[in-house]
Structure 1
Amino acid sequence: MTLKKIATLLVFIAFSSGLVSQNTVGVISYNQNDTYNGLTLFTSLTETYLINSCGEVVNQWTSAFPPGNAVYLLEDGSLLRAGKVTNTTIMFGGTGGIVEKFDWEGNLTWSFTMSDDTTIQHHDIFPMPNGNILILAVTIMSNAEAIQAGRDPNLLTDGVLFNEQILEIEPLGINQANVVWEWNIKDHLIQDFDVTKDNFGVVENNPQLLDINFLGGLSGSENWLHMNSIQYNNNLDQIVMSARHMSEIYIIDHSTSTAEASGDTGGIYNKGGDFLYRWGNPQSYRQGTQNDQKLFGQHYPHWIPDGLPNAGQLILYNNGFSRTPSFSEVFILTPPTTAPGVYDYTSNTAYGPTATDYTYTNPVDPINFFSRILSGAQVLPNGNILICDGDSGYFFEIDSNENIVWEYINPSGATGILSQGDDPEGIPNLVFRAHKYGYDNPAFTGRDLTPGNPIELNSGINEPCDVLSTEEFAFEDVTVYPNPATDVIKVNSTHQINKIEIYNSLGAIISQVSNSNEINVSSYNSGIYFVRISSDTRSITKKIIKH
C-alpha cells in the first residue's frame, strides 16, 4: 500500500465515522509552522501549475503538448518546458520532441522541435546559466553500426540500438537554435566480445567506459540505457546523468570542445568525454556483484545547490524498481574526491562511497513508499526535503526528523480534473518531477502572486489550511457570534472583512456575502457548518452550530 493509498484510507475512515471529510486530492495535510513556505511547480497533461502550500494556483501555463517531460521556472519568470510530439519511429516511455519557452503571462516566446526518424528529445532538459539549454536525446545506431561498435548480435533483438546524446543549444529567433556542444555515449564504449570490432578491451580495467554488452537486467532492448535525467553543476562545469536501465549515474566533463567530448583527453579534467565518475551498480564494469548494487531504476540525481544544507553533495530518488521487495528511497551521497571535481578511484575496485550519507525510507513500513517510474527529491532551504512519488502524483515534504509536514495529491488525471472527495486511486495522475521555489526567487520579483482557486473542482473548504489549522492560519482576533446560532451570525475583527462564506459539512459553499460583517443562516437546517472569513489575501475558517 502506497503512502497515497494510506492517506485515502484515512480519509475514508474519517468520513465513515461521521467526521467532517478531509481532502482526498490537493493538499492532504499541512503543518504550517514546519513546511517551507514556497511555491511548487509541476506539469500534468498540457498544464503546468505553480501552487502555494494551500494548493491554490498562483500561476498556470498551457501548452498544446503533453509533457515531454522536464519543466523549469527561469529567473526572469519564464517557463522552460519539454513537450511530447508524435513520433512513429522512436517510441518509448519518456519521449518528448519539442522544447518550449513561455513568458510569465503564458505567451509562447520560443520553441524548438527535435523529432524525426533518427533522433528525438526525451525526458530532461536543463537551462544553462549562459542562456543556452542542454537537451537529452537519443539517436539511432543501425544494426551494422551497433555490431561494428562491438554489440553482440544476439543482443540486438530490436535490430537497432539507441545512442544517448547530450546537446547544448543556443536558442535563436522564435523556433531555431544553434548546436554549440555535443556528447554521445557511442564514443565512450568498450567490449570484450569481438576482437575484430571497435572498442575491444578489458572491461574491468576501463571503468571510464561503458560496456556495450552489459544489459542491466534487460534482454537486448534497443532502449538499453534509458537515460532519464541530466543536471549541470556550474561550479565544476560537469553534467550528471542517470541511466535507469543500467541502475547507474555518470558524471562527465562539460568544459570540453565537441571534438574533445568524443575522445578521452581534453577539458579541465583531461579525460575528454569519458566518465569522470559512476556509481550505483559496479556489476556494469565488473567490480562487484548483485549484492553491491545500490541503485534500482533511479531518477533525478543532482548536486545540492550552494547555500543549502549538504551543498555540493548528490541527492537522488532511488525508485527500487526490479528488486524484491520493491520500495523507494531518497539518497544523499558524497562522491570521494581528491580535489573539487576530481573523483578518487582505486583500480580494480568499485567507485565509492560504499554507503550513503543519508537515506530516507518510509519509517513505518518501507514497502509502503514505492514509485516504479518518474519521481525526484529536492533539499529545501530550511533543511526539509520535498519528495515526488511520481507514479501516484503524490508530493510530500519531510522535516529533519522525517515527519511529514506537507502532502499533496495531483488532482489532474487522465479522466480530467478531479473534484474534492473523489478517490484518486487508479486514475493516472503522473508527475515527472515537482520543484519548490522560495518566495525570494528572482522569478517572482514584481509579480502578482495573489492565489486563485485550487486545481481540484468543488474545492469548498481547503481543510488542511482552514479547518485543521485555524489557530495558526491568519488573523487570530476574529470572533464569530452567536455560536450556536439561530438566525444571524456576526463577525467581529479589527480587520476589514471582505467576504463571508458558509460551507456545509461536505465542503460545498451554500451562501456568501461581500463587504459585510454578518450573514443570515435562519433558513439552514440544524447541524454543523463552516464560516470562512476573508480579509485581503488572508482567510480563516470557524466551525459553527446552527440550532
Structure 2
Amino acid sequence: MRRIGLTLLALGLTLALSAPASAYQAFKGPLGVLQNKLDATEGYVLIAPQNCKTTYLMDKDGNVVHEWVSKYDAFYAELLPNGNLARHSRLPEAGPNFGGAAGLIEEFNWDGEVVWSYQVYEEGVRVGHHTFEVMPNGNYMILVWEYKSYEDALAKGMDPDYGGRCLFKDGFRMGKNMVKGIWPDYIMEVNHDKKVVWEWHVWDHIGTGYNQIDINRFNPPEHNRAYAGPDWTHFNGVSYNPKTNKVAVTSRNLSEVYVIDYATGELEYRWGNPYNYGQGRRPSNQGDNGDQKLFGPHAPDWTVEGNITILDNGNQRPNSVGTGFVELDYKNDKVVFEWYANKLRTMDRSAARSNFYSAYQSGVNKMPNGNYLITATTGAHILEISGKDGSLLWEFVSPWSKDKIYKTSSGHGQNGGGIHRAMFYAPDFVGFKGKDLSTVLYSVPNWVVQLNQNPVPRHWVPLTPLLPGRY
C-alpha cells in the first residue's frame, strides 16, 4: 500500500523533476522539498511559518539544523551577522489588523534566549506591522500604522466624496470592530536602548506632485473598501542601504516603491504607479494595465549593485501574469531583470501555464550568486529562480502548520502556515561562524529522494517546457 500511495502522489512531482519549466501548483498535495536541481544553490533557508511559534533553519534537502521557539506566532524573521535571530512576533491583541499586524520585535541568541525585545503597539494609537530592517549599527527600522482622526484627514485636504472614498466620520466597520479615523504609515528607527532616533511619517509628506503623497489617490473601493478608507498607504517592507544612505519602502495599496533620503527625509524617487502624482493612466478595462507597473508590491531589498528587488503580487493586474518580481535600477529608472509565474507551467495537464500566485504578502531576496529566492505566502510556496535565464532550480512547499509537520496539505487544509518571506543564507554567512550546522535535528519530507527510491512507471510522460512566445 505504501508503494501505491507514493506512486499516486508522485505523478505530478515526477513531471516536474524531468521538466525544467514546470512547477508544482496545487494547493493540496505533497509538502516539503519538491525539486532540487543539480545547479540549485547550496545553503540554508530560514522559515518562519505564521501559525507557528517556532522558526526553522534548514538546508536545501529539508534537513532542519537549528530552530528558535517564541511564546508567539511569527510574522517574519531574519538572521543577524552575529548569528542572532530577529523576529517580528504577532501579539494576539495587536490591531487594527489590515493584514500584517504584529507588534513585538524579539531578538534571540543562538541558544534560543530572548536578548532584546521591543513592543510597538499602543491600542488606538499605533501598531507595528509587516517586516523590519536591522541596520549595520544594530538599530531596527520598523513599519508602523499610526492613528489620525477623520478631522485630521480633512485638514490635510482629504475629500470624503472623491472617487469612492470610504473614510467615514463614524468609522469603518471591519467585521465586529469599528475602526476610527485613518491609519497612515510611518517608519521608526529605534536603538538597543529603546530610544527612537529617526522617524519618517507619510503624514508629513502629504500633497500633490512627485515628491509628495496625495491623500486623494487611493486603491479603488471595488478592490477592497478598507483600501479606500482607513488602510490607505499600507507600507509592507523597508530596506536601508548604508552605502548610499537611502531607504526603500513599498506601499501595497498605492502600488509603488519609494526611495527616501535618510539624511534629508526627502522622497526623491518613486516607481510603479505614476497615476498617483498625475503623470500616468490608471488601469482601465480588462487587459489594460494603464501606466501602472506594480500591483501589490512587497519586500523591497537593496542588492549589492545598488538596485532594488521588489516582489510584485500581481493582485488586481488586468493583464495577469501571476506573481513575480523585478530588479529595478532606480538610478537609471529601468528594470534590469524580471520574472513572473507565467514563465512556468503547471505539472498537471489542466493548465497551460503556472498559477504561482499570492494576492497578499510574499517576498524575494537576491542570493549572493545572483539567483533569487521567491516566496508566495499563499500556500507557503518557495522557489529558487536562476538569475541567468529565469529557470526553476529548487522548489519547496512548507509542511509546517501549528508547529507540526505534514506530508500532504490535505492534513491541515489548503494553505497551512503562510510564510511572509523565506530568507537564504550561504554556507559562509558570517553569522554561522562558530555555530554547529552539522547536526540534523530532523528532516521534513523530501519527495526528490522519495521518488528516486520509488520511481513511477515510465509510461507517464513529462510535460514539455512552454514554447517561446506562448506565454
TM-score by length of 2: 0.79
Task: Give 2:91's match in structure 1, choosing from 72, 85, 90.
Answer: 85
Task: Give 1:359's match in structure 2, choosing from 317, 333, 338.
Answer: 338
Q: Distance in 2 between matches of 1:249 and 1:14?
A: 37
The aligned runs of 1:76-475 (5 Å cut-off) are: 76-87=82-93, 90-117=96-123, 118-154=125-161, 155=165, 156-157=167-168, 158=172, 159-172=180-193, 177-190=194-207, 203=208, 206-218=209-221, 219=225, 220-255=228-263, 272-290=264-282, 291-304=290-303, 306=304, 311-324=305-318, 326=320, 327-337=322-332, 352-353=333-334, 356-362=335-341, 363-365=343-345, 368-399=355-386, 400-413=388-401, 417-421=404-408, 423=410, 426-454=414-442, 456=444, 459=445, 462-465=446-449, 468=452
* Corresponding residue for residue 47 of structure 1: 54
- Per the alignment, do residues 449 and 322 of structure 1 end up closer, same or farther by CA in structure 2, a change over 3 Å counting? same
**Is the 8 Å Cα contact of residues 399 and 408 (structure 2) preserved in structure 1?**
no
The 3-state SS of whatever aligns with 2:258 is strand
* Corresponding residue for residue 524 of structure 1: none
Residue by residue over 1:322-378, the C-alpha shift from the partner in whole angstroms, topping out at 9 and shown as x without a partner, is 1235411211121135xxxxxxxxxxxxxx43xx22221232455522111111122
Q: Distance in 1 between matches of 2:113 and 2:94?
A: 29
The 3-state SS of whatever aligns with 1:443 is helix
- Per the alignment, do residues 10 and 214 of structure 1 end up closer, same or farther by CA in structure 2, a change over 3 Å counting? farther
Q: Letter of the aligned partner of 1:387 in structure 2? A: I
Q: Distance in 1 between matches of 2:257 and 2:249?
A: 6
- Per the alignment, do residues 37 and 170 of structure 1 end up closer, same or farther by CA in structure 2, a change over 3 Å counting? same
Q: Distance in 1 between matches of 2:392 and 2:314?
A: 21
**Is the 8 Å Cα contact of residues 248 and 281 (structure 1) preserved in structure 2?**
yes
The 3-state SS of whatever aligns with 1:76 is coil
Residue by residue over 1:61-108, the C-alpha shift from the partner in whole angstroms, topping out at 9 and shown as x without a partner, is 1111112x3312011110111111133652221001110010001111
Mean alpha-carbon deviation: is it higher for 359-368 or for 141-150? 359-368
- Per the alignment, do residues 145 and 14 of structure 1 end up closer, same or farther by CA in structure 2, a change over 3 Å counting? closer
- Per the alignment, do residues 36 and 161 of structure 1 end up closer, same or farther by CA in structure 2, a change over 3 Å counting? same
**Is the 8 Å Cα contact of residues 411 and 455 (structure 1) preserved in structure 2?**
no
The 3-state SS of whatever aligns with 1:152 is coil
The 3-state SS of whatever aligns with 1:296 is coil
Greater RCO between the two (CA within 8 Å, min separation 6)?
2
**Structure 1: runs of 5 or more not aligned:** 1-7, 191-202, 256-271, 338-351, 471-504, 507-547
**Is the 8 Å Cα contact of residues 169 and 178 (structure 1) preserved in structure 2?**
yes
Q: How many residues align?
A: 398
Q: Distance in 2 between matches of 1:171 and 1:318?
A: 33
**Is the 8 Å Cα contact of residues 32 and 447 (structure 2) preserved in structure 1?**
no
Q: Distance in 2 between matches of 1:283 and 1:417?
A: 46
- Per the alignment, do residues 9 and 95 of structure 1 end up closer, same or farther by CA in structure 2, a change over 3 Å counting? farther
- Per the alignment, do residues 9 and 406 of structure 1 end up closer, same or farther by CA in structure 2, a change over 3 Å counting? farther
- Per the alignment, do residues 388 and 364 of structure 1 end up closer, same or farther by CA in structure 2, a change over 3 Å counting? closer
- Per the alignment, do residues 254 and 70 of structure 1 end up closer, same or farther by CA in structure 2, a change over 3 Å counting? farther
Query: Alignment RMSD, CA only?
Result: 2.6
**Is the 8 Å Cα contact of residues 344 and 354 (structure 2) preserved in structure 1?**
no
**Is the 8 Å Cα contact of residues 380 and 415 (structure 2) preserved in structure 1?**
no
Q: Distance in 2 between matches of 1:224 and 1:14?
A: 42
**Is the 8 Å Cα contact of residues 240 and 251 (structure 1) preserved in structure 2?**
yes
The 3-state SS of whatever aligns with 1:211 is coil
**Structure 2: runs of 5 or more not aligned:** 1-5, 16-23, 173-179, 283-289, 346-352, 456-471
Larger radius of gyration: 1
TM-score by length of 1: 0.68
Q: Distance in 1 between matches of 2:92 and 2:296?
A: 26
Q: Distance in 2 between matches of 1:63 and 1:295?
A: 35
The aligned runs of 1:448-527 (5 Å cut-off) are: 448-454=436-442, 456=444, 459=445, 462-465=446-449, 468=452
